[in-house]
Amino acid sequence: MLVGRMALGGSFSNPLSNKPAFSSDFCRMFAYLKKKWKVSWPQFALIFSTFALGGSLCAKLGSGLLQLILDEQNWVYWILYVPLITLLWPICVLGISIPLGQFRFFQNYLLRMWKRISGKPVVTRVAIFASGTGSNAETIIRHFKGQKAVEIALIVSNKPGAGVLQIAAAHHIPTWIIDRNTFLNGNGYVDELMAEKIDFIVLAGFLWKLPSALIEAFPRKIVNIHPALLPKYGGKGMYGMHVHKAVLAAGERETGISIHYVDEHYDHGATIFQEKCEIAAEDTPETISKKVQQLEHKHYPAVIEKLLKA
């Protein structure tokens, strides 16, 4: 027996030939979800497994509970089945997520789902980490002021006299002064940030290297801006005027900014955005600094907004 049908032109068409297209659709869907969730492929596999195992457990538990109450699968069974598994699903998924190490992801995921269902606006709470005067922080604060979907909820600094703290006070934003030993040798204030329901972290001139615990708790949800075109002039000690002096001493004809995700190494995470500016013959580290700062203020808030909307 022939499988398939004749096309209008007379050639034989096999439905099985659509299999590669079907497979590629799944690949595109997986790639889209990975990008949307901002996770690595290994974590995506764990998340997908959690969904699958949680769904299976939910179906089995729901069926088992109803069989204890009802003798047969009649119309009452199916009326009760749907709301029961709806209630069981988040419990099962959270339970499965614990041994797979994805509890925080699903905690945030389910919270966002509940806000959408209940009609409450989903607000992304952002913490800005800064060590200095806070010019970038102020630009970001002003950019998001009045937006309902994003809240600059916290300013974190490692310096009690940092100018960014005065900016925070002027905008009525809570501040933290963090302890070096607790931050670097503890868990990076992860528990405290979770208690404040922080969703995203922006580094704006923050000079300490982030501990692994903090990076793992906020995968691809921590960004930094560097005043040069990475991978050049990055690494330990490369910040502020040190960068501009190094760029000028090397005879570079252009410099710029790099916005990147943060990982366990200085200025090393995946690049998100870069913009260039020319270096004139008469430029000094100070004039270069002003050119770069203009790029920072122009692009950093816009790139952050784009990431939060993705």
pLDDT digits 0-9 by tens, 226-275? 999 999 999 989 999 999 999 999 999 999 999 999 998 888 899 999 99
Residue 8's pLDDT is 38
131: pLDDT strictly greater than 80: yes
Q: State the sign of the Cα–Cα–Cα–Cα dihedral 85, 46, 121, 36.
A: negative
Lowest mean pLDDT: which of 9-13, 50-54, 138-142, 289-293?
9-13
Angle between helix 103-118 and helix 75-97 axes, rounded to 10 deg? 140
Section 142-170 average pLDDT: 95
Section 57-68 average pLDDT: 90
Q: Look up residue 191 and give its two tokens.
A: 């528990």
Section 281-310 average pLDDT: 96
- Quickly state the pLDDT bin for 100 (edges 50, 70, 90): very high
Section 124-152 average pLDDT: 95
Dihedrals phi, psi of 58, to nearest 5 degrees:
-60, -45
Residue 95 zone, left/alpha/beta (φ > 0; ψ -120 to 50; rest)? alpha
Q: Which residues, at least 6 apart from 36, have a Cβ–Cβ distance to it below 8 Å?
A: 310
Average predicted confidence (pLDDT) for the chain: 88
Share above pLDDT 90 across residues of the chain, in percent, rounded to a whole number? 64
Section 109-135 average pLDDT: 85
Residue-range domain boundaries for the chain:
21-118, 124-309
Residue 37's pLDDT is 77
150: pLDDT strictly greater than 90: yes
- Note the helical H segments in 209-280: 212-217, 241-249
Residue 30's pLDDT is 84
E strands, the chain, where? 5-6, 12-13, 124-129, 150-157, 175-177, 200-203, 222-226, 254-261, 271-278
E strands, 66-117, where? none
Share above pLDDT 70 across residues of the chain, in percent, rounded to a whole number? 91
15: pLDDT strictly greater than 60: no
Strands 222-226, 254-261: pairing kind: antiparallel
Residue 262's pLDDT is 95
72: pLDDT strictly greater than 90: no
For the CA atoms of 29, 34, 40, 44, what is the dihedral angle to 10 degrees? -70
Q: 172, 226, 242, 297: which one is catalytic?
A: 226
- Quickly state the pLDDT bin for 114 (edges 50, 70, 90): confident
Asked if CATH classification 3.40.50.620 holds for the domain at 124-309, the reply, yes or no, is no
5: pLDDT strictly greater than 80: no
Contact 224, 259 (CB under 8 A): yes
265 carries an active-site annotation: no
- Quickly state the pLDDT bin for 120 (edges 50, 70, 90): low
Residue 111's pLDDT is 78
Section 122-134 average pLDDT: 93
Lowest mean pLDDT: which of 29-38, 113-122, 225-234?
113-122
Question: For residue 65, what is the DSSP state?
Answer: H
Residues 175-213 have pLDDT tens digits of 999 999 999 988 899 999 999 989 999 999 999 999 999
